[in-house]
């Protein structure tokens, strides 16, 4: 169940990022997360 929840969170996160920045590329998500840490 936890994996399903995390998967849903990732999908929503991608949708939010796509809505906030149209030029955002899903492939850059991991890079962005690393930069935040």
pLDDT for the residue numbered 32: 64
What pLDDT digit, counting tens, does each position of 1-37 carry? 999 999 999 999 988 887 777 665 556 666 666 766 6
pLDDT for the residue numbered 27: 61
pLDDT for the residue numbered 17: 80
pLDDT for the residue numbered 24: 56
Helix (H, G, I), strand (E, B), or coil: what is residue 8?
helix
pLDDT for the residue numbered 19: 76
Token pair listed for 36: 């935040």
Contacts of 32 (CB under 8 A, 6+ apart): 17
């Amino acid at each position: 169940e936890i994996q399903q929840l995390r998967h849903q969170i990732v999908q929503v996160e991608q949708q939010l990022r796509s809505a906030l920045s149209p030029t955002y590329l899903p492939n850059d998500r991991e890079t962005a997360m690393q930069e935040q840490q």
